Structure 1
Amino acid sequence: MCGGERFAHHDVLWGNLISQWELSQEEAAYINVQQGTACVGCGSNVRSIALADAFLRYHESPSPLVEWVHAPLAQSLQTLEINEAGTLSGILKNIPHHRLVRYPEYDMMALDLESESFDIVLHSDTFEHISDPVKGLKECRRVLRRGGACVFTVPIIVGRLSRGRHERSPSYHGHPGCLDEAMRVHTEFGADVWEVVLSAGFSECRIVSYCYPAGIALIAVA
């Protein structure tokens, strides 16, 4: 993100969420790193840094994101951000052809956007909150130009397969006591998360590790 090398940490998971997701002590520890370990310089947590890392790898850039957004390539890209993608959002707005839309105002399963109009789509920890993630990724693919990419993160429990929460007790992200339906979790993603990408019609799924298993991002190539 900024090139910083100093980090601070605080735990973010709460007991009820750990219980609902049936997380082991090890799984809870790396998710706490994902969400609660952050750069002292810019405040970006591991999740945001992993997303930025995948984004920069896709563009084969060794520069931190704060520098890359001023490069000629960045200035020409049509970029769609769905929800504020962590701390990337404040940096990405320096791209002239950057557009931000927000879920749930914009339905990710039926984006009110023109087909083949973007080079890059980004979102972070949003797909677990929609009822049909394959349909949502199909929409991301629809609005991408050929050869474009959707770069995103979702919470991944790496030691098990994905499972839906439709027959389980409701679980919400955000904060203890949250009952906002937009924050309700529909899917707990696991090691087979790549299947969602290919099922949505993307030709390639790259799994990028910034800090395994806490910092993982995906690149879906159209």
Structure 2
Amino acid sequence: MYLINLHRIDKDVRRCDRTYWYFTPENLEKLRNIMCSYVWLHLDIGYVQGMCDLLAPLLVILDDEVMAFSCFTELMKRMNQNFPHGGAMDTHFANMRSLIQILDSELFELMQQNGDYTHFYFCYRWFLLDFKREMVYDDVFSVWETIWAAMHTSSEHFVLFIALALVEMYRDIILENNMDFTDIIKFFNEMAERHDVPKVLNMARDLVHKVQTLIENK
């Protein structure tokens, strides 16, 4: 079983963030070492594609195998549930459906009418990797730091509000172009690494406040 996981790790490490300046052969080896150590201690979970994506930014910032391993282990306590063996992804999709339906009924109706993509599967990668592939690499650090800080200040579900902000930021484009499921997947794939991250985060904060106000005034 461990050998199967090693093969998966080797395959992913070779292609992980190859264009980013930090990942020299030496640092890719560090990435592999950490990932192998984590999987060895969590054989019940094993290696799942995407884990290297979550580890890589931590290694870039910390530049230390031991510290990166420790932080990654803590991060995975939350992120594990987003992978196929967990159940968090369905919860994310259900929450997105509820929030869009409450906050933007016009957009929700369009999504329903154009093939009904209110399952929100187009958000899968967002939740799986905490938007790591949606933002310019150097913006990922501020997005992650904001998510972690928000858990202690505004909302432990801030990831959900970033996703909501991404949809709401482009709502007019989605409506004007009468987008169906294929259109919206294509649109957000093309927009990857082109988002105005400070604007997205500010909108997410505003949405948290809006929802909290709605709950308080119920």
TM-score (norm 1): 0.30
Greater relative contact order structure (CA < 8 Å, 6+ sep): 1
What TM-score results when the alignment is normalised by the length of structure 2?
Answer: 0.30
Higher helix share: 2
More strand by proportion, 1 or 2? 1
Q: Over alpha carbons, which structure has the higher Rg? A: 2
